[in-house]
Amino acid sequence: MDTYSAVKERLLSLLNDKRLSIHKLAADSCVSASTIKNILYGKSRNPGIVTIKMLCDGMNISIAEFFDTKQFKSLEQELR
């Protein structure tokens, strides 16, 4: 799994777990709904760390919690 896929899956999982819509997360995180959709639908394959932090703030989790998953711990090296 690549990093983009791990970020996308984690964001989708958190939206589901917290029962948040894209628009609710947008309002809570001050990240536009279009930016969130671009991450989820593949138009933005390299979301910035500041954007991820803002999304975490909107979901009331730390950035460490966001990345503390099996997928992130087992990512393969991106450079080849």
Average pLDDT score, the chain = 94
pTM given for the model: 0.90
Structure tokens at 74: 């087992």
Q: Which helix (H) or strand (E) holds 7?
A: helix 3-17
Spell out the residues 6+ positions from residue 66 whose beta carbon is closer than 8 angstroms to its own. Answer: 10, 14, 52, 55, 56
Instruction: Return the pLDDT at 1.
Output: 82
Domains of the chain, first to last: 3-58 (1.10.260)
Tens of pLDDT, residues 2-40: 899 999 999 999 999 999 999 999 999 999 999 999 999
Q: Say what percent of the chain tops pLDDT 90.
A: 81
| 26-79 pLDDT, tens digit each | 999 999 999 999 999 999 889 999 999 999 999 999 999 999 999 999 888 877
How is residue 5 written in tokens? 């896929």
